[in-house]
């Protein structure tokens, strides 16, 4: 094998798309997927890769220092693409410590293990940390986050991600670890756990259940199709400048309420329902505590320096996403069993 790449969190939403892209595009790389399989990790996302000779799955917890060290010693990765994290803002509000453990402590364990393995011999080595636009805080109605925007995280989730970004930069400056970081906007697409807005709404519309909109639905997010994020990650991993940060976004801003109206229209079509039927399910609920108003990313650096651009228009991406969820009943039913019902009633009551 030419190289070994360790991908953490590869059984999750974005991670599974990154693993698939890397395994298929680089048959000469050994791809090691390290994931502890929390409620959000699902090996069904990677069924098509199980028999690939260049793919290995390792069940391990990044918060377990000894287990991480063992994986590094056994597989001796040349590169790390680190996606494993607790990722849902609402859960970070009810259980912040889980986020500090996985996102901060887990990242430090990986940084230490990479440093111990590579030592001063870092030629051809790279630690790539996947982060979020939420570290920059919240925008008013104008302006964009650039790579120079000062950090201003405001939820336990975004504070834990900001903290992990700082750790990665500290390991670069203090120990010369070769690192790169990217901060991406909201992803959507197949395999996203239905606690996040788009898959949650698709599932509720399908079952004619209330679609919960926090506050007045005026918060704005910048949506990117997950496969376009995976392509950006591949590009940054191979071509990004050591020590640099790259913002990734869809240049595709929607208020939550307009997004949900658009989704209702697509779902009415897909399910042969009367126009306007799904919109009747929209239900305004209590706002998220500390709800950030607007995120919007300036991806100019990534586009100009590395030539990336999103491949899909939002209309196309959302239709593809709806079709995937409607065609993958078994996947959806499996993830909805287990603890999902308990989470849903804690978060939304009996709606
Ligand atoms: P996800 O919740 O779908 O998946 C996270 C994965 O990490 C799961 O497979 C889970 O089992 C694994 N994991 C969690 N804690 C772990 C631990 N302690 N040890 C080992 N594995 C663990 O998340 P996602 O939406 O795919 O996000 C992936 C990464 O991308 C995260 O770092 C997130 O902060 C970042 N990100 C997400 C988005 C988005 O819109 N979803 C946008 C920008 C950045
Ligand atoms: O911006 C990148 C971030 O996007 C990632 O770092 C996070 O991992 C990812 O979860 C996502 O965070 P958000 O909080 O923006 O995503 P979520 O899907 O939870 O919510 C999107 C918007 O919709 C947000 O303004 C809150 C609102 N919302 C969400 C849910 C779950 C609702 O109105 N109702 C809901 O039921």
Residue 82, both tokens: 């680190």
Measured in degrees and rounded to the nearest 5, phi and psi for residue 55 equal: -125, 130
pLDDT value at residue 351: 63
Contact 59, 122 (CB under 8 A): no
pLDDT value at residue 349: 84
Cα 212 from Cα 94, distance rounded (Å) = 18
Q: Please report, in tens digits, the pLDDT of each residue of the chain (351 residues total).
A: 899 999 999 999 999 999 999 999 999 999 999 999 999 999 999 999 999 999 999 999 999 999 999 999 999 999 999 999 999 999 999 999 999 999 999 999 999 999 999 999 999 999 999 999 999 999 999 999 999 999 999 999 999 999 999 999 999 999 999 999 999 999 999 999 999 999 999 999 999 999 999 999 999 999 999 999 999 999 999 999 999 999 999 999 999 999 999 999 999 999 999 999 999 999 999 999 999 999 999 999 999 999 999 999 999 999 999 999 999 999 999 999 888 988 999 999 866
Cα 173 from Cα 217, distance rounded (Å) = 42
SS3 55: strand
pLDDT value at residue 338: 81
pLDDT value at residue 341: 87
- Domain spans of the chain? 3-188+224-251+294-312+340-348
Length of the chain: 351
Compute the distance from residue 89 Cα to the ligand 2 centre, in Å: 7
Q: For CA atoms 93, 98, 100, 102, give the dihedral sign.
A: negative
User: For a substitution probing ligand 1, which of 37, 40, 92, 343 has the most ligand atoms within 8 Å of its CB?
Assistant: 40
Residue 91, both tokens: 């859960």
Cα 232 from Cα 239, distance rounded (Å) = 10
Contact 68, 62 (CB under 8 A): yes
Measured in degrees and rounded to the nearest 5, phi and psi for residue 297 equal: -105, 140
Number of the ligand 2 atom closest to the C-alpha atom of 220: 25
DSSP string, 96-133: HHHHIIIIIIHHHHHHHHHHHHHTT--TT-EEEEEEEG
Compute the distance from residue 274 Cα to the ligand 1 centre, in Å: 37
> Does the C-beta of 35 come closer than 6 Å to ligand 1?
yes
What DSSP designation does 207 have? T
**Topology of domain 3-188+224-251+294-312+340-348, per CATH?**
Rossmann fold (3.40.50)
pLDDT value at residue 1: 81
Which ligand ends up closest to the CA of 184?
Answer: 1
Active site residues: 133-134, 157
What DSSP designation does 287 have? P
Could you give the angle at which helices 106-118 and 156-175 cross, rounded to 10 degrees? 20
Cα 189 from Cα 324, distance rounded (Å) = 8
pLDDT value at residue 94: 96
Compute the distance from residue 14 Cα to the ligand 1 centre, in Å: 7
Cα 67 from Cα 14, distance rounded (Å) = 23
């Amino acid at each position: 094998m030419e190289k070994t790449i360790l991908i953490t969190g590869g059984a999750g939403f974005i991670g599974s798309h990154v693993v698939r892209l890397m395994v298929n595009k680089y048959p000469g790389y050994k791809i090691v997927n390290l994931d502890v399989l929390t409620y959000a990790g699902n090996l069904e996302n990677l069924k098509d890769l199980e028999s690939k000779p260049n793919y290995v799955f390792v069940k391990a917890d990044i918060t377990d220092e000894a287990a991480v060290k063992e994986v590094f010693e056994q597989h001796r990765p040349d590169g790390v693409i680190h996606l494993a994290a607790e990722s849902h803002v609402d859960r970070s509000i009810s259980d912040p410590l889980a986020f500090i453990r996985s996102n901060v402590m887990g990242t430090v364990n990986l940084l230490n293990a990479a440093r111990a393995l590579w030592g001063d011999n870092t030629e051809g080595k790279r630690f790539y940390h996947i982060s979020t636009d939420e570290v920059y805080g919240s925008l008013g109605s104008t302006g964009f986050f650039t790579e120079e925007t000062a950090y201003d995280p405001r939820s336990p989730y975004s504070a834990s991600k900001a903290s992990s970004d700082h750790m990665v930069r500290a390991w670069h400056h203090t120990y010369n670890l070769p690192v790169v970081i990217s901060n991406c906007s909201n992803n959507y697409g197949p395999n996203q756990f239905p606690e996040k807005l788009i898959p949650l709404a698709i599932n509720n519309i399908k079952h004619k259940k209330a679609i919960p909109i926090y506050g007045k639905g005026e918060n704005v997010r910048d949506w990117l199709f997950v496969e376009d994020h995976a392509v950006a990650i591949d590009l940054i991993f191979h071509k990004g400048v050591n020590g640099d940060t790259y913002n990734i976004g869809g240049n595709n801003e929607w208020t939550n309420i307009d997004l949900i109206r658009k989704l209702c229209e697509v779902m009415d079509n897909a399910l042969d329902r009367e126009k306007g039927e799904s919109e009747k399910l929209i239900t305004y609920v209590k706002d998220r505590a500390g709800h950030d108003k607007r995120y919007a990313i300036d991806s100019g650096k990534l586009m100009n320096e590395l030539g990336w651009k999103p491949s899909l228009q939002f209309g196309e991406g959302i239709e593809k996403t709806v079709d995937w969820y409607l065609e993958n009943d078994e996947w959806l039913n499996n993830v909805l069993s287990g603890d999902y019902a308990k989470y849903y009633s804690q978060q939304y009551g009996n709606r």
